[in-house]
């Protein structure tokens, strides 16, 4: 009940604000609050930039999820294959990345790729190439940072899952002459499905809501707003320019999208006859 209340009340407020004309002038009582109905939503949907940002967010989040899962699963399998010392080293390195606050991680990555002082340019001999200037190279840079700070969760969870798989099964597959990839594809992945579902949904939610990395690494949305994602866009509307109701409307849209993604995903799984 308490949990429900804690969850429901903010969402209720978000929805409420999104149907009013609610800016700083209304909050501090300079002007009366007026009911707008779906005015904020229609303003949002008729704004070309919103659709552009939404598309960029979906594509970027999808790329992040796929890369994070690929890296996380590959390293989890690697963990089961190496000796204790390298395993410990890899674990510690991953935990270090995981424990680093997003803002610190972003700043460090940005420094690594800095046009004037960054070691990456020096090693690759790129002179003063700017990584944040082009749209794709800026997104790529942020993607690397996002993958770096979120693969440990996938890796650790999947590793724990693999450990729980009976050793005989893997041994039998190996005796049958299955390759590493084949073992993953036909034995591990199906057995780990519930775990993979959880980490995928987690990753989708995280990467769809990415804020800090974009805000810090592209200076609040990149050249001419080319690297805006939905969360940063909402921040710009809601807090930087005090259009709280418009920001709330974006928040509601995000909530609905994430809810839909999760439901569709669960539905698909159920249809395949898997219970979670």
Q: Which residues bind another protein (CB under 8 A)?
A: 12-13, 15-17, 19-20, 22, 24-31, 33, 35, 115, 128-130, 132-133, 219-221, 223-226, 236, 240-243
Among residues 12 and 51, whose Cβ is nearest to another protein?
12
Least Å distance, CB 2 to another protein, is: 19
Least Å distance, CB 59 to another protein, is: 18
Least Å distance, CB 205 to another protein, is: 25
- In this structure, the number of other CB atoms found within 10 A of the CB of residue 200 comes to 17
Among residues 111 and 189, whose Cβ is nearest to another protein?
111
Least Å distance, CB 232 to another protein, is: 11
Least Å distance, CB 244 to another protein, is: 8
Least Å distance, CB 58 to another protein, is: 21
Among residues 40 and 203, whose Cβ is nearest to another protein?
40
Nearest-angstrom CA–CA distance, 238 and 93:
37
Among residues 53 and 79, whose Cβ is nearest to another protein?
53
Among residues 101 and 219, whose Cβ is nearest to another protein?
219
- For the chain, the residue count is 276
Closest of 175, 203, 183, 163 to residue 69, by C-alpha: 203
Among residues 126 and 183, whose Cβ is nearest to another protein?
126
């Amino acid at each position: 009940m308490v949990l429900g209340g804690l969850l429901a009340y903010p969402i209720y407020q978000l929805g409420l604000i999104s149907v009013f004309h609610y800016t700083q002038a209304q909050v501090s009582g300079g002007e009366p609050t007026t009911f707008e109905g779906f005015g904020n939503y229609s303003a949002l949907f008729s704004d070309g930039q919103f659709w552009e940002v939404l598309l960029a967010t979906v594509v970027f989040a999808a790329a992040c999820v796929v890369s994070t899962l690929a890296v996380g699963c590959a390293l989890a399998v690697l963990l089961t294959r190496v000796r204790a010392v390298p395993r410990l080293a890899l674990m510690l390195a991953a935990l270090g990345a995981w424990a680093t606050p997003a803002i610190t991680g972003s700043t460090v990555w940005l420094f690594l790729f800095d046009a004037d002082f960054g070691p990456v340019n020096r090693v690759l001999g790129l002179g003063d190439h700017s990584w944040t200037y082009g749209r794709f190279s800026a997104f790529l840079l942020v993607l690397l940072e996002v993958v770096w700070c979120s693969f440990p969760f996938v890796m650790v969870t999947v590793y724990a899952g693999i450990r729980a798989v009976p050793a005989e099964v893997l041994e039998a597959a190996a005796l049958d002459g299955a390759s590493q990839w084949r073992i993953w594809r036909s034995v591990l992945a199906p057995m780990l499905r519930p775990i993979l579902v959880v980490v995928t949904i987690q990753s989708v939610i995280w990467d769809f809501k990415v804020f800090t990395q974009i805000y810090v690494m592209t200076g609040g949305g990149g050249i001419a707003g080319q690297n805006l994602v939905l969360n940063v866009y909402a921040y710009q509307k809601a807090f930087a320019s005090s259009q709280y109701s418009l920001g709330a409307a974006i928040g509601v849209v995000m909530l609905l999208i994430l809810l839909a993604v999760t439901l569709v995903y669960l539905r698909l799984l159920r249809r395949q006859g898997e219970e979670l």
